[in-house]
Chains A and B, each alone.
Chain A
Amino acid sequence: MTTSVEAGVEAPKPPAFIDIKPRRGQNGWLSQHVGTAALGGFLGYILGHWLGNFIGSSYPYIANSGQNSLAVLLALLFMVVGWLLGIGALNHPIAKILGREAKGEVEYTGWTRYFRYNLDHKVVGIQYVVGVLIFFFTGGLLAMAIRTELLNPTVHVFSADTYIKIVSEHGTIMMMMASSVVVGPLGNYFVPLMIGSRRMAFPRIEAFSLWTFIAGYFVIFSALAYGGFPTGWTGYAPLQTQAGPGMVSYLFGFAVISVGMMTAGFNLAVTIINYRAPGMTWSRVPVFVWSIIATAALLTLASPVLTAAGLFGLLDKTAQTSFYVTEHGGSSYLWQNLFWFFGHPEVYIMALPGFGIVGEIIPVFTRKPLFAYRIAAAGMIGVALLSFFVWQHHLFQSGIDPDMRPLFMLTTELISIPTGFIFLVGMGTLYRAKIRYEVPMLFCMAVYFNFLIGGISGVFLSDVPVNVTVHGGFFVLSHFHYTIMGGLIFAFFGGLYFWLPKMTGRTMNKKLGLWHFWTMFGFFNLTFFPMFIIGLLGQPRRVFSYARNLQTLNEFSSIAAFFLGASFLIFVANLMWSQFIAPEKAPANPWDSLGLEWQTATPIPHYNFERIPVIMTDPYHYSEVGAPALADFGNGPPVHASSAVAAAIEPEQ
């Protein structure tokens, strides 16, 4: 064994992960940026469409569409590949074939870096903020269209065909957005800062997830150009098989998004496991990081099932297999099982990060330690584990094996135990605290208010006898809007108000923020609470006409929904005003938080921490006399830590 050979080596090049001196990227127009990505996508689309028509020329065209599914699929596939090639996502994977290793992260400067394949997790976080907001507002506009149609049971604004397209696009876009809405922006931005890391484990994979996510937006939106798809976001099978080429956009779009979800979750999970600063034991990890690692586990393990389900659907559409065609040896239940096996973990992908944000913000404004920290972490892990065992509650009325129902009723109701932990944690932290009601805190209180309704209505849905009344109606629609929008989206906006001062160095206007909060909170409840009653009174989901006696409630809900939509205009106005028009410099730690992410300078230096901090304790020692210092930011890891490192490096030798 030769251990001291380095002495004789002529200075080998430092590898990527040590080369932390950033190199200047080329900022010229000829380098790769979003423009070349668009060009690549465009060329790829044309090439793929031609190729599809070439090899699939003998395939029957889809009736009344003049389209060949294979051409549509290959066009979209090549579009995504061209997009990724154009942005530069595939430069490194291709260079690796020649044995080249990365030369360190290219650091772009100036505003154009937000339009490039940037590996800095802080830039990716901000790119994700813009991405999810575009997703969210697109889906929101479609929601406005739905509520416009439902103003009147008999007078129709849209044709039945257009209406079902709008409903399907709304559902799908919102689901795609919601699965990344916190993990993408806040997870990517703050997880390294919270665990005291200077970087992500796999920055290329992190950037890859962002650009696939954006490609997914174009793919799912292309459905409208192909005549839409009539299946809603669940894409149930015989209807899926029957549908036109827009269905290909749906299936492929979900497959693309699922790749983005997998990669994002993969990178975050590995980062949290390995890049925690010295001293950051699992009992000192911030609760937001706990929520992100639970979510990341779900993202990495549940999304492949969606990829597979989408692949089978695409094969049904193009290679004319019969996975979901009961008449030909397939089964329409297969799609339902695969889809919901992904779909229910997905629901918790859309809930857990919200819990994490709330758990992070409430201690700051109550000036109290997080109550029962271990219970919070256990609750998140428990929810993540149980969420793999509940999927058949979506199939209670579908004619599955009836023996399964008591079992899935039990598992579904069991999952409310760990969910209840989150309430215990929140309520315990509020107890006898001197609470400052800043805008982020108000959003957190609203999360508890809304999620309570959403969660309790979930118990009704899990009960098979009551499920007969509420399944497939507006009751369940209202239920999941209360959990996803009332929970996650409220938490997301709370998180934005809370962390934007750190992300951009500019604080949000409080007055506009309060206006935004109260209008959003009020009109959200006015929009969706009547829908519980509408559902109980017998209105199924996704209908364009309904019983006349429900008109008043529907009108009420619609008008509230328009105001709810308008409340986001206040947010946009606030964002524009506070960030661009009249920016106000934020102090480094405006909320006086103990969180590690607030302890760095604002703006955050490229490598986050001048020295890798050594963590002394958990970040929740509020109002504690003689509390230990959070971390040692001074001199890097103390000697004892690094000698442990040296011993751990090559254990097999």
Chain B
Amino acid sequence: MSDAFKAADKIRISDTPEEREFELRAHIGAIWSGGRLFIGMYTFLLASLVFSYFYLRSSNNGILWRPNHVTAPTAYGWTIYTLTLLAASMAIFGQARLRRGNVSEWQAAIWVGVVAALFALFMQIWEFTAVPFYPGSSGYASTFIGYSVMNILTIFIVAYWLETTVARSHWLVKEFRGVEIQFSKHPSAQSFRANVASMTYFMGFVALSSTLLFAMFYLL
């Protein structure tokens, strides 16, 4: 099989400027729609948890949905929630600074967000040591453990996306040598900004979803 394909490999293509523009537009569009589709995907994942929560709550099998209204440690809950919200809002407010042209303020905001997310991640894992019930002792306890695992994933994605984007921005700033990446029409800069926009949109989703889940598991 290899011979036939080797011939094909030899073909080298040079792009026309129109094709470059087309590919760029498609690439930017892919980041845009990919970001939205990812939110849809993540919504279904979290919706499974929300469904489980309310399903077990309403069936209350063995009157063991939540005996004595056991609650996970709220101090941890508030800390994790606040930190997640901080990370998300840093991305959202940071983007406003980036749009105004201030890259370094955006970078500072995102790094704060990264640190907040990492700390939230640590707290979310550490919370397992402070949970005052057995995982299998009630329906609430089970869904809470499920929520913790999913929240670890969420915060990890938040931290990873923030960190990779801001790390990339440092390289870009260096490569562009003084040219402002927040305004440049260079493909790399456009791709970077599209990524920032998708990320910020996702952070808004995280802020909303973690508010809902926090209220469900710690306040309700």
Contacts and interface: CB of A to CB of B under 8 A. Distances in A.
A and B, direct touch (CB closer than 8 Å): yes
Interface string B6-42: 1111011101111111111111111001100110111
B69 to A, nearest CB: 13
Given A14-B187, A107-B9, A605-B8, A645 B21 contact: yes
A319 B121 CA distance: 19
Nearest to B175: A12
A5 interface: yes
Interface string A475-505: 0000000000000000000000000000011
B153 to A, nearest CB: 9
A553 B220 CA distance: 58
A334 interface: yes
A278 B42 contact: no
A5 B184 contact: yes
Interface string B39-62: 011101101110110011001111
Contacts of B149: 311, 315
A429 interface: no
A274 interface: yes
Given A300-B40, A315-B149, A606-B9, A646 B21 contact: yes
B186 A604 contact: no
A18 B183 CA distance: 19
Contacts of A13: 175, 188
Interface stretch (A68-76, A301-309, A355-363): A301-309
A100 B168 CA distance: 6
A331 B186 contact: no
A274 B24 CA distance: 10
B176 interface: yes
B129 interface: no
A607 interface: yes
B33 A641 contact: no
A271 B143 CA distance: 36
Contacts of B183: 1-3, 5, 653
A2 to B, nearest CB: 5
Given A101-B171, A202-B30, A330 B56 contact: yes
Contacts of B175: 12-13
B15 A18 contact: yes
A269 interface: yes
Contact of B62 (A270, A326, A337, A604): A326
A322 B135 contact: yes
Contacts of B142: 312, 315-316, 321-323, 328-330
Interface in A1-36: 1-3, 5-6, 8-10, 12-15, 17-18, 20-22
B190 interface: yes
B102 to A, nearest CB: 14
Contact of B1 (A111, A311, A329, A648): A111
Given A18-B15, A18-B24, A315-B146, A304 B41 contact: yes
Question: Which range contains the number of A residues in contact with the other chain?
Answer: 35 or more
Contacts of A371: none
A3 B185 contact: yes
Given A12-B176, A645-B25, A331 B59 contact: yes
A9 B176 contact: yes
B41 A301 contact: yes
Nearest to A99: B167
B146 A275 contact: no
Nearest to A3: B185
Contacts of A636: 16, 18-19
B141 interface: yes
Interface centre among B41, B49, B176, B190 (most CB of A within 10 A): B41
B64 A328 contact: yes
Contacts of B141: 321-322, 329
Contact of A101 (B11, B42, B168): B168
A65 interface: no
Contacts of A100: 168, 171
A348 to B, nearest CB: 16
Contacts of A604: 8
A328 B136 contact: yes
A545 B63 CA distance: 40
A436 interface: no
A603 interface: yes
Contact of A15 (B16, B42, B64, B191): B191
A579 B4 CA distance: 12
Contacts of A278: 22
Contacts of B48: 304-305, 308-309, 338, 341
Contacts of A649: 21, 24-25, 28, 185, 190
Given A309-B48, A338-B48, A315 B179 contact: no
A240 to B, nearest CB: 15
Contact of A329 (B45, B47, B56): B56
B44 A319 contact: no
B52 A323 contact: yes
Given A109-B9, A337-B55, A604-B8, A99 B168 contact: yes
A229 B177 CA distance: 60
Contacts of B146: 308, 311-312, 315, 321, 323
A97 interface: yes
B2 interface: yes
A649 B29 CA distance: 9
A2 B52 CA distance: 52
Contacts of B168: 96, 99-101
Contacts of B190: 649-650
Contacts of B170: 99
Nearest to B11: A605
Nearest to B101: A1
Given A101-B171, A304-B41, A5 B180 contact: yes
A586 to B, nearest CB: 11
Contact of A20 (B15, B45, B47): B15
A610 interface: yes
Contacts of B79: none
Interface string A282-325: 00000000000000000011101101110110011001111101
A300 B38 CA distance: 8
A210 B9 CA distance: 23
B22 A650 contact: no
B207 interface: no
Contacts of B30: 201-202, 270-271, 273-275
Nearest to B25: A645
15 contacts: A2-B180, A6-B184, A8-B179, A9-B186, A99-B164, A99-B169, A100-B168, A111-B2, A266-B41, A304-B44, A319-B145, A328-B138, A329-B62, A611-B19, A612-B22
Given A641-B22, A649-B25, 17 more contacts: A5-B184, A6-B179, A197-B26, A198-B23, A305-B47, A308-B45, A312-B52, A312-B142, A322-B142, A326-B61, A328-B62, A328-B139, A329-B56, A337-B55, A637-B18, A646-B21, A653-B183
Interface of A: 1-3, 5-6, 8-10, 12-15, 17-18, 20-22, 96-101, 107, 109-111, 197-198, 201-202, 262, 266, 269-271, 273-275, 278, 300-302, 304-305, 307-309, 311-312, 315-316, 319-323, 325-331, 333-334, 337-338, 341, 504-505, 579, 601, 603-607, 610-612, 635-637, 639, 641-642, 645-646, 648-650, 653
**A-B complex: 4 closest residue pairs judged by Cβ atoms:** A329-B64, A99-B167, A308-B48, A329-B139
